[in-house]
């Protein structure tokens, strides 16, 4: 690891007054700056940190109103840029993420193995068993949607907030366009794909204690799929029609058109035949079947191409 690399940790703080100081104390010495963003915390987490860590590497920024975890991270990222950081780590202040992982995550960025390193709690089966069942269920569903919308088919646990990013990749991200609330991590992945950044899953254990999550699974499962669908169509439009045009650009619309034609024509023919009490002509059945089969095959070919085209070459070294 390069000795002159500037490493900054950003901690969004909201209702974490009981845990945040122990998190800060556990951050390793290789970290140059720790930015705590008090997102209008009703518990005064920022004031607590400011009082305890005077004249140290800890900096505290305050929001006058709550902007959400995404809004807090945008503030932290902008401050990290001002500090000329090479690697920026995001870690939550609730104590669920082990700061001992920071050196290895930092090394992966500095050694140019990836542009964005994110935690994955699903590598170890024992860790999965310790997770609350509602979180397992929610992550399975959201991970499935995230693969479509972000284009990162080989990653999992997309809403994991333990991340590291290079300054090079961060400088190319339009932060103002990213969601301010809990969709932040998934939306960030979508933006990373647009700049062709390499994302690496990092195996990690989550430490679940008495802390309470502000995330409501029911609300997320209603809101997130719509946002994932929006990002999916955006990604397809940007990647396959605005920036490039390949065989896959033809396969998807033709495949969708044939499939829709086949299903619609088949349904209409079925209802008509039942009403007139007559069998469907063999030629008609062949047209319906072939339209559906060829359409599905073209759609599958498109997704096979999309999966293989996931970014593999890092953008470049930090700074």
- Residue 296 near residue 246 (C-beta atoms within 8 A): no
Question: What does the radius of gyration of the chain's CA atoms come to, in whole angstroms?
Answer: 24
CA dist 47 and 34 (Å) reads 15
Predicted confidence at residue 138, as pLDDT, reads: 74
Give the pLDDT confidence of 44-65 residue by residue, as tens digits: 999 999 999 988 899 999 999 9
Highest mean pLDDT, choosing among 32-36, 212-216, 282-286: 32-36
- pLDDT of residue 219 exceeding 80, the answer is no
Evaluate if residue 318 carries a pLDDT over 90: no
pLDDT given for residue 211 in this prediction: 54
Q: d(Cα 158, Cα 121) in Å, to the nearest integer?
A: 10
The DSSP 8-state label assigned to residue 163 in this structure reads E
Binned at pLDDT 50, 70 and 90, residue 280 comes out as confident
Query: Which residues are CB-contacts of 112 (< 8 A; sequence separation ≥ 6)?
Result: 314, 316, 317
Which residues, 6+ apart, have CB-to-CB distance to 39 below 8 Å? 12, 13, 14, 63, 66, 67, 68, 69, 71, 72
Among 79, 108, 37, 35, residue whose Cα is nearest residue 175: 79
Q: Which residue from 43, 46, 56 is spatially nearest to 12, judged by alpha carbons?
A: 46
* pLDDT tens per residue, range 62-93: 999 999 999 999 999 999 999 999 999 999 99
Position 215 scores a pLDDT of: 55
What are the CA-CA distances from residue 9 to residues 159, 248, 266, 279 (Å)? 18, 40, 58, 70
For the entire predicted model, the pTM comes to: 0.88
Does the structure show a pLDDT above 60 at 142? yes
Q: Which fold has domain 7-240?
A: Spore Coat Polysaccharide Biosynthesis Protein SpsA; Chain A (3.90.550)
Cβ(292)–Cβ(174) below 8 Å: no
* pLDDT recorded at residue 210: 55
State the residue for tokens 């669908």.
229
Domain extents in the chain: 7-240, 245-308
Is 69 in contact with 94 (CB distance < 8 Å)?
Answer: no
């Amino acid at each position: 690891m390069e000795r002159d690399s500037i490493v900054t940790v950003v901690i969004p703080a909201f209702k974490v007054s009981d845990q945040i100081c122990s998190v800060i104390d556990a951050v390793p010495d290789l970290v140059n700056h720790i930015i705590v963003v008090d997102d209008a915390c009703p518990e005064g987490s920022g004031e607590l940190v400011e009082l305890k860590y005077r004249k140290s590497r800890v900096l505290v920024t305050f929001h006058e109103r709550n902007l959400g975890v995404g809004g807090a991270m945008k503030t932290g990222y902008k401050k990290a840029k001002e500090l000329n950081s090479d690697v920026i780590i995001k870690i939550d202040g609730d104590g669920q993420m082990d700061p001992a992982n920071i050196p290895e995550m930092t090394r992966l960025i500095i050694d140019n193995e990836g542009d964005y390193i994110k935690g994955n709690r699903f590598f170890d089966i024992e860790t999965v068993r310790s997770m609350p069942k509602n979180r397992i269920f929610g992550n399975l569903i959201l991970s499935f949607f995230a693969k479509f919308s972000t284009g990162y088919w080989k990653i999992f646990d997309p809403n994991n907030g333990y991340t590291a990013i290079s300054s090079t990749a961060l400088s190319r991200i339009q932060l103002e366009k990213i969601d301010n609330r809990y969709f932040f991590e998934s939306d960030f992945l979508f933006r990373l794909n647009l700049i062709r950044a390499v994302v690496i899953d990092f195996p990690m254990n989550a430490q679940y204690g008495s802390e309470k999550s502000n995330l409501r699974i029911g609300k997320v499962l209603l809101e997130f799929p719509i946002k994932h669908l929006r990002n999916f169509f955006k990604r397809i439009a940007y990647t396959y029609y605005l920036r490039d045009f390949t065989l896959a650009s033809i396969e998807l619309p033709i495949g969708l058109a044939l499939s829709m034609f086949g299903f619609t024509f088949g349904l209409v023919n079925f209802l008509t035949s039942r009403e007139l009490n007559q069998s469907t002509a063999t030629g008609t059945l062949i047209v319906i079947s072939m339209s559906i089969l060829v359409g599905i095959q073209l759609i599958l070919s498109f997704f096979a191409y999309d999966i293989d085209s996931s970014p593999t070459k890092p953008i470049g070294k930090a700074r």
